Structure 1
Amino acid sequence: MTTEAPPRDEHITEDTLMAMLNGRRVLTRRELAEKHDLSVTHLEKLYREREANGHPAPVDAPGRELMWDATEWRRWYKELTGTAGLETREDLQERTGLARSTLELLYRERENNGHPLPEKTVGNTMYWNTKAWDAWYAEYKANQAWRTEIDRSGNAEDEITLAEAARVLHMEPTSITKYPVRPPKHWPEPIRVEPSPSGGRVKRWYRRGDIWKYGELRERGGGGRPAGTSKTTRRFPYDGDPRLDQARTALKASPDTPTAQLAGDLARQHGGTAGTWSHIVRSARQNPEG
């Protein structure tokens, strides 16, 4: 029997390779705590109460600390917390192939992209309705189709050079050499600047996540916009979106209706996802006049 595990002193992240035991992905209690945003103390309590809650038995790993089958434990915990049928960010990452950092960025930008709010939050872990998330993501990708592709590999906190930033943006390195001195709209500031060993020039380092953000905000062709749109400055989320007026009309007719219920009604009437309409309704409440 062979096992593979990350070094004990490494910080376990979503991108760290899990230990393998007889072909099964397994996790220690410490790793479960990291992946599911739970405290080790809470996990120990759950295990002590296993006769009552059905906690999975640890896998057979003689001479090692206790380890659990990752999939079996996650399925059990979902049933325990009443989140069966919902997906965590880890689930979305595994199913869609999107990087954890990409999923986090999409959620942080929810005011602009309409990312659905979690259906439920247990501890520090958020759970999304699978159908609602998939519908939103399909709409999001369709709306982003006119943009050039961005290389989403790597971690948002990576420090990358200008040449590496060009590769992330699928651009020729020579095409962005003037960006630091003649920055286009949304171009980020470097996080570190160092003199070149040869002297006379400097080497700039950028945060990978900032380059992703630029890639999302830039406009095709260095300033051109997709056909049928005009350049506007939004005063608040969904400013200028016709759906905002539809939400305002619905609010005037039913001002006391909860946001979630109203969003569902609008989604059925006009299409789109309830998650997206929730953001639109919130903006309509906060900005009742155009």
Structure 2
Amino acid sequence: MATLNGRPVLTRKELADAYEVSITHLEKLYRQRELNGHPEAAGTISRALVWDAADWHQWYESHTDTIGLESRTDLQDRTGLGLSTLALLWKERETNHHPEPEKIIGNTMYWNPATWDTWYQSYKANQQWRTTVDHSGNANDLISLAEAARVLGMEPTNITKYPVRPPKYWPAPAEETTTPKGFIKRKYRRGDIWTYAEHRERGGGRPAGPKTDRRYPYDGDPRLDQARTVLKANPETPATHLAGQLAQEHGGTAGTWSHIIRSAQQHPEN
């Protein structure tokens, strides 16, 4: 073994032979030394870079030490999640905040299991809002808002606001008509609802924006404007009848719409 300034040193080829790694891999490690802490070369011998043997060995032992860490295969064995699922979770890290690996050795990433588990528990909690989507039927079928809620596995009242305060990815209606009594009838393409289900984000139909204090019941709720419109168009129709019509058209219960109509009667304008 050659020496430099009285200390044993190794060339890259000698390191490759001693540690049974490729020269290409050693070159990559050296290029990434600002990230991985690879020691700087101690100098050159016959124009070849050399590294202090003891310093390099200490660094390499630390670099390859994975005690207490888990690779994707380890995570699969422990959690039962498929490798494809784990790969997808990593791929979507910009949106799901998947933790970065503690180490990358070659092409293998290693995570701190405690950090990963804490993240995954939070991730699962944030996914509980998702519902089972009904993919039966023809993608080109036109369906009502209430039927769209059924396709999404949601209560109709939970998406009543979507047409006027659409969440991200919510489709425009494929067909929209106004009845003589002022009811707006919207039809959605079933395939567009499926596409929304694939892309919807946590928060459902609540668009981003600051919350405001309500001045009276249903203040700021788009259903209140719907009730006002119907009351104007049908001044002689009993409120109970209008509530039933609104529930049929927009989803929800007649009882809820009765409360909305009462607020609209008490507060006819914003």
When Rg is computed on C-alpha atoms for both structures, the one with the higher figure is 2
| Normalised TM-score (structure 2) | 0.32
| Normalised TM-score (structure 1) | 0.30
